[in-house]
Amino acid sequence: MGIFSLLTGIPGQSGFGSASTAEQVTQGIDASNLTAIVTGGASGIGRETARVLALRKAHVVIAARNMDAANEARQLILEENEDARVDVLQLDLCSMKSIKAFVENFNALHLPLNILINNAGIMFCPHQLSEDGIEVQFATNHIGHFLLTNLLLDKMKSTAKETGIEGRIVNLSSIAHLYTYEDGIRFDMINDRDSYSDKKAYGQSKLANILHANELSRWLKAEGANITVNSVHPGLIMTNLMKHSLLLMRILHMFSYLLWKNIPQGAATTCYVALHPSLKGVTGRYFLDCNEMEPSAFAKDEKLAKKLWAFSQKLVDSCTKIEK
């Protein structure tokens, strides 16, 4: 899959390509025995992902920080499909307190959990610290999802064991993982304001999404848990994600509009990786345009993934201690 297939939409080995939509790649799939959480499911790619999973009859939980937008997304899904099973729950990935409350609220619904789509994200924002004192792109895009996934893992494992159905975790990364700081993840300067680059900090957080998926995939494989973990680049799609760089993105769009996708196409790779039967047992891989791709050398570095895991766990532990 290269520029040519992106421009032409010619399908790759999977039979799908850049022009495929989320509905097309899930055509004929019955997900009525599945429950899925979609973070950031109130807008953009996440909203389309939630809509299509619900269309395929999955029970969908939209995890969002903006409850008005989440309720509107739920309403739109129900207007299209009155039998859809959709719940909304509040989640602010920038706050460990909110993540824990989300998991408690989810557990109180007594639902199984088969699919976790770590989709929410922010991009290119000015330097800022999260509620827990962590640079906000790293906090939202990586640490929040790292903690959320860890807290939901027992539920996913027990669901997979009791039902015999493979669980799937999908991390929304980006091609931007290629453009990061010199060492990939700058562990010693994660919050440094003076050398902060809004672009590299985004790339760093998206690299972390792949490293997280790969390391978790190795753990789950070693444990024999019936859960796969993969990461995806959805393509270039004009969404609210661009709000901190609207002018730059509009100019980029003007010169490269043939490379951009619409939102239904943007949600295709996520839905493909979450639902498609051909990916049974496939784990620790990176997908673009519904086909497997090689990510960067940093993303494939096992030592870096282990270091990031230990670093993230320490960060979560230290923030959780302060909170107590």
Candidate residues 22, 117, 172, 211; the one interacting with ligand NAP per rule CB under 6 A: 172
Report the first-to-last Cα separation within the chain, whole angstroms.
49
Our finding on whether 120 is near ligand NAP (CB under 6 A) is yes
Rounded distance between C-alpha atoms, residue 43 and residue 53, angstroms:
15
Distance CA 46, CA 59 (A): 15
176, 237 contact by CB (below 8 A): no
Interaction residues for ligand NAP, span 182-201 (CB under 6 A): none
CB of 239 to ligand NAP, least distance (A): 3
Annotate each residue in 260-299 with x if it binds ligand NAP (CB under 6 A) or - if it does not, as one string.
----------------------------------------
Asked whether position 119 contacts ligand NAP by CB under 6 A, the answer is yes
Task: Write each residue from 127 to 166 as x if it is in contact with ligand NAP (CB under 6 A), else as -, in one continuous string.
Answer: -------------x--------------------------
Does 196 participate in catalysis according to the annotation? Answer: yes
For residues 23 and 28, what is the distance between their CA atoms, to the nearest angstrom?
A: 9
For ligand NAP, the binding residues in 21-60 under the rule CB under 6 A are 40, 42-46
Determine which residue in the list 18, 21, 174, 265 makes contact with ligand NAP, applying CB under 6 A.
174
Cβ atoms of 287 and 233 closer than 8 Å: yes
Beta-carbon contacts of 65 under 8 Å, excluding residues fewer than 6 positions away, are 90, 91, 92, 93, 98
93 interacts with ligand NAP by CB under 6 A = yes
Q: Specify the residue, 84 or 236, whose C-beta has the smaller distance to ligand NAP.
A: 236
Asked if 94 is part of the footprint of ligand NAP (rule: CB under 6 A), the reply reads yes
Which one is catalytic: 196, 257, 272, 286? 196
Asked if residue 239 binds ligand NAP (CB under 6 A), the reply is yes
Binding piece for ligand NAP, criterion CB under 6 A, among 64-72, 154-162, 188-196, 311-319: 64-72
**Smallest distance from ligand NAP to CB 187, Å:** 21
Q: Name the segment binding ligand NAP (CB under 6 A); options: 120-128, 191-199, 287-295, 311-319.
A: 120-128
Residue with CB nearest ligand NAP? 44
Residue in the structure block whose two tokens are 């996520």: 270
List active site positions.
Answer: 196
Residues that bind ligand NAP (CB under 6 A): 40, 42-46, 64-66, 69, 91-94, 119-123, 140, 172, 174, 233-234, 236-237, 239-241
